[in-house]
Amino acid sequence: MSSGISRTIDVGRKPLDDYVFDIIISFQEGIDHIVIKGFGDYISKAVDIYNELRHRLGEGIVLEKIEIGSERRRGRLRSFIAIHVKRKY
């Protein structure tokens, strides 16, 4: 994980482009490391967000790691994916 500023984006119902825009703005504001986290039905959307981000920024980002697992949310065990993306300098 990066030693700089980090931010986690929880994927939900907003349009895909809103998440991509938020991430690009975060990078411009000096955040070095973003975690795109999708639970349950939003796992595939998290992957789509990463793919769109990669399409728009190309070599400007690096995929650091991908985590999969489950954690308790609202009393239920939920599967998740966490995609760690770092800004390249």
Domains of the chain and CATH, by start: 6-87 (3.30.110.20)
**Mean pLDDT across the chain, nearest whole number?**
94
pLDDT band at 70, cuts 50/70/90? Answer: very high
pTM comes to 0.91
CA atoms within 13 A on the CB side of 31: 16
Residues facing residue 88 across a β-bridge: none
pLDDT band at 3, cuts 50/70/90? Answer: low
Q: Mean pLDDT, to the nearest integer, of 65-86?
A: 95
